[in-house]
């Protein structure tokens, strides 16, 4: 099996986490769990982007030190792990983790040794929210397209990186698919940006303008390293790149897959700037960049600066982890934004988990207790229910193909096709009528009943197995209800109680 490294982007910590980042965490977690479930060697990294000017400004507004605000909010991001059931192997905080600064310093010096860094005076329009300079042509009615705020005119002397030097090579790598960007529309977007001509970009800020917050440019105490240069490095600094550690060789240099999961607003940084930086430093590139779209509320992007952030922990506390994870993987499309409401979350949970899977498991266990005293019949050969067994047989490959495309909806649909087909099979097989016939002395009906019940146990165990990456704790509960080794089933328990929405 292959060795695979996967990362989320690292968010700013100027405030607490919202549902948009929770979606990225869950999606990345599902991919990591799916790979592990299929036997691959996986490392999953997340973290926080601490060295941002917007973090310093938020701390000033709150009247606390930048380090106090950053530490507090970074802990809130890390602590999403339990309520969202996230399985990251490592979590890096870029202001506090000792691995980070030494790695960023090494990356800076490596690009400098390649002749790709120089200093010059510069003037441009800067959005603090994006931590990015914009050209006039990129603004919408004079406003940042992401934050809908007017950028500031900044004039100062900064260090620059020779991005233009890597234009042809980037075009070749992305155009050939050697650097894979999914979905294709985002790949085309990146190629379109490259084809307009790449310009060298500023990679430092004055120490004064940065409020003294950030990583100092090596050998230049008047400048701090641009937060995006600093932040992008986390993907390798967390692997001990700074000390050329074994983790770096194992998970980056020698890995089969190096995958970044990011939002569409930061494609340029990950698909253009980051590969160019790595090429300059003489290091391997990521293999894949998966770009998701946004969650919206009434059509407007979720965001802290827009004032419509939704607390994922509050949702979990009210409706449970299963409901939130399931909505995120079942409803969010591979391409296009997804509008979130509590009513949609509750409706999807009740329809699929309470009524669909919960009903299937419950009726199966109850029938085995009622008709076979809780003893699971042996699985027959051949299996009955050709349509159901064909659906079961085809599901793993369908799930694998969908996950290869980062299509969570199609992957979960393949699992749910089994549930739907199993519930149809119960209606068609009529086990209650077989039980009546058996009671009246029909031994053939008794055999068919045993075969039917054995197939339903096999089916629900298969669903639980395939469900593991998407709903890990729910899959464990289903498996426990069905028994994992013995023949005697436990007393049936309600696995997915129905939820009541705000309008109920």
CATH number (domain holding residue 226): 3.40.50.620
User: How high is the pLDDT of residue 486?
Assistant: 57
Distance from the first to the final alpha carbon of the chain: 49
Task: Indicate the residue among 251, 272, 292 that finishes a domain.
Answer: 292
- Mean pLDDT across 463-488: 89
Is 220 in the same domain as 338?
no
DSSP 340: -
User: How high is the pLDDT of residue 301?
Assistant: 73
How far apart, in whole angstroms, are the C-alpha atoms of residue 235 and residue 244? 14
CA 152, 64, 130 angle in degrees (round to 5)? 30
Check pLDDT > 70 for residue 484. Answer: no
How far apart, in whole angstroms, are the C-alpha atoms of residue 143 and residue 285? 33
Q: Which band of pLDDT confidence, cut at 50, 70 and 90, is reported for residue 309? A: confident
How far apart, in whole angstroms, are the C-alpha atoms of residue 70 and residue 323? 30
In a domain, 306, yes or no: no
Is 189 in the same domain as 326?
no
Is 233 in the same domain as 350?
no
Is 279 in the same domain as 211?
yes
In a domain, 206, yes or no: yes
User: How high is the pLDDT of residue 273?
Assistant: 98
User: How high is the pLDDT of residue 307?
Assistant: 61
How far apart, in whole angstroms, are the C-alpha atoms of residue 399 and residue 394? 9
In a domain, 494, yes or no: no
Please provide the average confidence, as pLDDT, over all residues in the chain. 93
In a domain, 489, yes or no: no
Residue 260 DSSP SS3: strand
Q: Are the C-beta atoms of 270 and 262 separated by less than 8 Å? A: yes
Q: Which band of pLDDT confidence, cut at 50, 70 and 90, is reported for residue 483? A: confident
Identify the helix (H) or strand (E) that includes residue 222: strand 220-225
User: How high is the pLDDT of residue 247?
Assistant: 98
Is 351 in the same domain as 215?
no
428 vs 502, residue with greater confidence? 428
* Domain total of the chain: 2
> Before 476, cis peptide (omega within 30)?
no
Is 333 in the same domain as 286?
no
40 vs 156, residue with greater confidence? 40
User: How high is the pLDDT of residue 150?
Assistant: 75
Is 274 in the same domain as 338?
no
How far apart, in whole angstroms, are the C-alpha atoms of residue 193 and residue 187? 10
User: How high is the pLDDT of residue 299?
Assistant: 72
Q: Residue 172's domain spans which residues?
A: 3-292
Dihedral pair phi/psi, residue 358, rounded to 5° = -60, -40
Is 109 in the same domain as 254?
yes
Model confidence over 388-445: pLDDT tens digits?
999 999 999 999 999 999 999 999 999 999 999 999 999 999 999 999 999 999 999 9
How far apart, in whole angstroms, are the C-alpha atoms of residue 499 and residue 502? 10
How far apart, in whole angstroms, are the C-alpha atoms of residue 144 and residue 150? 6
In a domain, 325, yes or no: yes
pTM assigned to the model: 0.93
26-50 residues labelled b (16+ CB within 10 A) or e (exposed): bbbbbbbbbbbbeeeebbbbbbbbb
Is 285 in the same domain as 366?
no
Q: Are the C-beta atoms of 183 and 189 separated by less than 8 Å? A: no
Task: Indicate the residue among 292, 312, 336 that finishes a domain.
Answer: 292
493 vs 269, residue with greater confidence? 269
How do 117-127 and 132-134 pair as beta strands?
antiparallel
Cα torsion angle, 8, 10, 11, 17, sign: positive
Is 256 in the same domain as 333?
no
Q: How far is CA 220 from CA 204, 233, 313, 412, in A?
A: 10, 19, 42, 52
How far apart, in whole angstroms, are the C-alpha atoms of residue 329 and residue 322? 11
Is 105 in the same domain as 46?
yes
Model confidence over 210-232: pLDDT tens digits?
888 999 999 999 999 999 999 99
């Amino acid at each position: 099996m292959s060795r695979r490294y996967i990362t989320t982007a690292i968010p700013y910590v100027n405030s607490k986490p919202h549902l948009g980042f929770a979606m990225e965490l869950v999606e990345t977690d599902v991919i990591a769990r799916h790979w592990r479930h299929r036997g691959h060697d996986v490392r999953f990294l997340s973290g926080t982007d601490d060295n941002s000017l917007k973090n310093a400004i938020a701390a000033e507004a709150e009247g606390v030190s930048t380090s106090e605000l950053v530490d507090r909010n970074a802990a809130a991001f890390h602590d999403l792990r339990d309520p969202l059931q996230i399985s990251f192997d490592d979590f890096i905080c870029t202001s506090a983790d000792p691995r980070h600064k030494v790695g960023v310093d090494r990356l800076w010096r490596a690009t400098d040794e390649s002749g790709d860094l120089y200093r010059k005076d510069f003037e441009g329009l800067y959005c603090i929210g994006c931590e990015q300079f914009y050209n006039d042509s990129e603004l919408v009615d004079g406003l940042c397209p992401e934050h809908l705020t007017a950028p500031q005119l900044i004039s100062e002397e900064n260090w620059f990186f020779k991005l233009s030097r890597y234009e042809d090579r980037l075009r070749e790598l992305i155009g050939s698919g050697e650097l894979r960007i999914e979905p294709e529309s985002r790949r085309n977007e990146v190629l379109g940006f490259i084809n307009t001509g790449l310009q060298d970009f500023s990679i430092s800020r004055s120490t004064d303008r940065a409020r003294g917050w950030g990583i100092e440019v090596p050998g230049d105490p008047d400048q701090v390293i641009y937060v995006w240069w600093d932040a992008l490095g986390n993907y390798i600094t967390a692997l001990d790149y700074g000390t050329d550690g074994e983790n770096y060789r194992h998970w980056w240099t020698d890995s089969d897959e190096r995958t970044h999961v990011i939002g569409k607003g930061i494609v340029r940084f990950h698909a253009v700037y980051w590969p160019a930086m790595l090429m300059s430093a003489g290091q391997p590139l990521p293999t894949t960049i998966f770009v998701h779209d946004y969650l919206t509320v009434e059509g407007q992007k979720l965001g802290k600066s827009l004032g419509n952030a939704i607390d994922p922990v509050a949702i979990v506390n009210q409706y449970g982890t299963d409901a939130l994870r399931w909505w995120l993987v079942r409803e969010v499309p591979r391409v296009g934004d997804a509008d979130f409401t509590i009513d949609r979350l509750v409706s999807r949970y009740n329809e699929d988990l309470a009524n669909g899977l919960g009903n299937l498991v419950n009726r199966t266990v109850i029938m085995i207790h009622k008709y076979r005293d809780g003893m699971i019949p042996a699985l027959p050969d051949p299996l009955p229910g050709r349509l159901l067994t064909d659906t079961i047989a085809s599901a793993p490959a369908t799930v694998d193909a969908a996950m290869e495309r980062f299509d969570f909806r199609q992957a979960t649909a393949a699992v749910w096709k089994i549930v739907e087909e199993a519930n149809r099979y119960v209606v068609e097989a009529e086990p209650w009528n077989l039980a009546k016939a058996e009671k009246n002395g029909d031994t053939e009906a008794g055999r068919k009943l045993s075969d039917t019940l054995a197939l339903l146990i096999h089916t629900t165990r298969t669903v639980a197995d395939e469900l593991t990456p998407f709903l890990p704790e729910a899959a464990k509960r289903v498996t426990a209800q069905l028994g994992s080794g013995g023949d005697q089933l436990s007393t049936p328990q309600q696995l997915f109680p129905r939820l009541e929405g705000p309008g109920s």
